Amino acid sequence: MQDSELTPATASLFDLLGGEAGIRRMVDAFYDHMDLDPPFALIRALHPATLDGSRDKLHWFLCGWSGGPDLYIERFGHPRLRARHLPYPIGIAERDQWLACMKLAMQDSGLDPDLQQRLGESFQATADWMRNRGV
C-alpha cells in the first residue's frame, strides 16, 4: 500500500505519526519545550544536562509503542517504564508538566486533532501510572 493510500482506518499509529521521521520531530519538539520553556523547569531538572540520550530513548520507545520497529527493545530489552522511572520523583506537577510538553509537541508536529486527542488519552493514563509521589 502506498503512503498516499493510507487512511486513518488502514494506517497504523506509527504511520499516522509520520513514521520514524514524524516521531523524531514530535520528540524533538517535546524536548525543545522542556529545555527552553521556563514552565517546564521542574521536569527539565530531572534530566541530564544534555538531552540527546533522552531524545533517542523516547524516539526509540515511541516507534515500537506505535507499531513501528522495536528500536528500544532491540537496545535495552523490555521498557519496564515504571521501574526505570522510580528513581525520579514524579508527582502531580511533574506528570502535568510532561503532559503539557507532549501536548505542545503534538501541536507543533501538526498532528490531526483527533489523533492528538487519542494520543493525549494514552499519554495521560501512562503519565499518571508513572507517578511515585502523592503530590
At residue 8, the pLDDT reads 56
Radius of gyration of the chain (CA): 15
Q: How far is CA 134 from CA 92, 95, 121, in A?
A: 7, 11, 21
One-letter amino acid for residue 65 of the chain? W
- The CATH number of the domain holding residue 72 is 1.10.490.10
In a domain, 89, yes or no: yes
Per-residue pLDDT of 70-94, as tens digits, reads 999 999 999 999 999 999 999 999 9
Instruction: Please state the rounded mean pLDDT for residues 9-25.
Output: 93
What cell numbers appear for 55 in the block?
531524545
The residue segments making up the domain with residue 100 are 14-129
Q: How many domains does the chain have?
A: 1
pLDDT more than 70, % of the chain: 92
Instruction: Please state the rounded mean pLDDT for residues 1-12.
Output: 58
In a domain, 9, yes or no: no
What cell numbers appear for 48 in the block?
541530564
- pLDDT confidence bin for 126, thresholds 50/70/90: very high
Among the ranges given (1-10, 28-37, 118-127), the one the predictor scored with the smallest mean pLDDT: 1-10
What cell numbers appear for 52 in the block?
540527546
Per-residue pLDDT of 99-108, as tens digits, reads 999 999 999 9
Assess whether pLDDT exceeds 60 at residue 3.
no
In a domain, 99, yes or no: yes
In a domain, 102, yes or no: yes
In a domain, 64, yes or no: yes
